[in-house]
Amino acid sequence: MKKNEIVKFKIIDIGAGGEGIGKVDGFPFFIKDAIIGDEIRAKITKVNKSHGFARVEEVITPSEFRVKPRCPIARPCGGCQLQEMSYTKQLDFKENKVFQHLKRIGGFSEELLSGVTEPIIGMEDPYHYRNKASFPFGRDKNGEIVTGFYAGRTHNIIRGTDCVMGVPVNQEILETIIAYMNRNKIPPYDEVNHTGVVRHALIRYGFKTHEIMVCLVINSDESTTLGNVEELMSELKKIQGMTSIVVNYNTKKTNVIMGEECEILWGKGYITDVLASGESGEESSKESSKESGEGIKYQISPLSFYQVNPIQTEKLYDVALEYAGLTGEELVWDLYCGIGTISLFLSQQAKKVIGVEVIPQAIEDARENARINEIENVEFMVGKSEEVFTKYYGEDFVGEEPSEKETGEAEKVHPKVVILDPPRKGCDESLLEAISKVKPERVVYVSCDSATLARDLKYLCERGYELKRVRAVDMFPMTVHVESVTLLARSKATQ
């Protein structure tokens, strides 16, 4: 088989990247946008030693799981990978991905996994869930200013302002900005020559508060490069919910979207959103406390990390809260705490929560979030989890049940629960080693990469922990990403 050859395939499996897998004489091909069960004709694009790649030319017999994508640019756009797969099948695929990683990398038996795995939590309406989006600006072939999305694996901008993942107001904001740029001849950024001004527009939206922030990332260190800023602001302010207009300066020749410095042009420089517990279960009613603004408030600045799917975040944190099994008496460590979202969420039901995060700005936000919610039983520390936790308990700390006295005033109280929510690369081994020495009763692991999760669980389960519960939560419908929560408990034999 050679490049450009057209071959007929029956799609028999799904790859980790969401591609359909078909075989020719036992030799596997990965085919983007092909759905398991499809019969297709595809053009071979590349052949390696052990596998090849192909592109769908024609769907001969569509799979029962194939659906029409809602978005007209679903195929070329690099944002989604699974829009042509039915949502039920997407959920199956994600649940299975976690299961297979835990089995293959974690070494857990199928029997154990079947016993501890709980059903994946999907969305009722898996569209328009993103509270944040950044849109690159550039020019099309005719020199017109465009904004939209990068085509998969490239930096070519595909025109598109009404993404089905984002909130509808994005379109109005982007059109306002483009009209302003055209009127005032403000050029978009040109990546190749490192010239022009407007690089990206970052838009954040508070699902509960309906507050909007627009942050324009510009290739300059002065907002005057944007021309008549007053005019731009007065246009943007007309959009209902506009709360904050910010510029971010990024003059570097880099793929990183945001520069380090922001200047507030108008408004308070952040938006607020609310996350509520217990109201977001599958049975929840629309008239929940979520609507009335109860719950924990979070201030979100342009540079802060905040979960992008607020509807599923509540469900994810509810699972974490349930797995933590808090009674109000325990010390909880929230490692990799970001702006303290999980810490504050759990604090009502714990004696104390200590959050650790490596980015100082995030810790400032976390402290501010504790203050605005009047939460006093939380403490935040800046640093790497593996260093802060290890140093705090030191070499000599022996993990065991603390006596009554110790749980009272003693500084180094034995932690009952440790929450882990690391980035994709997972936890540093030295942190896992420290945890296995300090011996918290329960470890709740929130993960955005089930392969590194499986590796880390294997380590802990070889050192006195048992896998008790696992549940995937679909935070990113239409994409191949899957989030999960796992509960480990100290096994009785080793306590």
Of residues 63, 250, 309, 385, which one binds ligand SAH by CB under 6 A? 385
Residue 163 annotated among the catalytic residues of the structure: no
Q: Is 346 in the site for ligand SAH (CB under 6 A)?
A: no
C-beta closer to ligand SAH: residue 249 or 445? 445
Beta carbon nearer to ligand SAH, 219 or 341: 341
* Residue from 33, 211, 357, 474 binding ligand SAH (CB under 6 A): 357
Q: How far is the CB of 310 from ligand SAH (least distance, A)?
A: 11
Half-sphere exposure of 415 (CA within 13 A, CB side): 28
Q: Which is nearer to ligand SAH, 19 or 357 (by Cβ)? A: 357
Catalytic residue among 80, 262, 448, 461: 448
Query: Smallest gap, in angstroms, from Cβ of residue 84 to ligand SAH?
Result: 30
Nearest distance from C-beta of residue 308 to ligand SAH, angstroms: 10
385 within 8 A of 409, measured Cβ to Cβ: no
**Binding status of residue 390 toward ligand SAH by CB under 6 A:** no
Q: Is 358 in the site for ligand SAH (CB under 6 A)?
A: yes
Q: Tokens 């971010």 sit at which residue? A: 248
Q: Say whether residue 342 binds ligand SAH (CB under 6 A).
A: yes
**Nearest to residue 340, comparing CAs of 308, 293, 312, 304?**
304
For residue 71, give both structure tokens. Answer: 């978005």
Establish if 356 lies at the interface with ligand SAH (CB under 6 A): yes
Residue 435 and residue 443: Cα distance in Å, rounded?
Answer: 9
Instruction: Please report how close the Cβ of residue 319 comes to ligand SAH at its closest, in angstroms.
Output: 12
Which residues have a Cβ under 8 Å from the Cβ of 304 and sit 6 or more positions away?
A: 270, 338, 339, 361, 362, 365
Residues of span 260-319 touching ligand SAH by CB under 6 A = 305, 307
Q: From CA 35, how far away is CA 64, in angstroms rounded? A: 9
Reported as type and span, the H/E element at residue 345 is helix 341-347
Q: Is 127 in the site for ligand SAH (CB under 6 A)?
A: no
Q: Is 423 in the site for ligand SAH (CB under 6 A)?
A: yes
Beta pairing, strands 132-139 & 198-205: antiparallel
Is 384 a binding residue for ligand SAH by CB under 6 A? The answer is yes
Q: Work out how close the CB of 325 gets to ligand SAH at its nearest, in angstroms, rounded to a whole number.
A: 19
User: 163 CB contacts (<8 Å, ≥6 apart)?
Assistant: 71, 79, 130, 133, 149, 170
**Contact indicator for 34, 9 with CB cutoff of 8 Å:** yes
| Distances in whole angstroms, Cα of residue 97 to Cα of each of 94, 102, 106, 186, 221 | 5, 9, 13, 46, 45
With CB under 6 A as the contact rule, the residue among 34, 36, 181, 337 that binds ligand SAH is 337
DSSP for 378-438, please give it: EEEEES-HHHHHHHHHTTT----PPPHHHHHT-SSPPPSEEEE---TT---HHHHHHHHHH
Indicate whether 421 belongs to the interface with ligand SAH (CB under 6 A): yes
Q: Applying CB under 6 A, what is the total number of residues that bind ligand SAH?
A: 17
**Shortest reach from residue 338's CB to ligand SAH, in Å:** 3
Residues 219 and 191: beta-carbon distance below 8 Å = no
Q: Is 336 in the site for ligand SAH (CB under 6 A)?
A: yes
CB of 105 to ligand SAH, least distance (A): 21
Helices and strands per DSSP (H, E), number in the chain:
12, 22
Among 341, 373, 390, 452, which residue interacts with ligand SAH (rule: CB under 6 A)? 341
Interaction site with ligand SAH (CB under 6 A): 305, 307, 336-338, 341-342, 356-359, 362, 384-386, 421, 423
Active site residues: 448
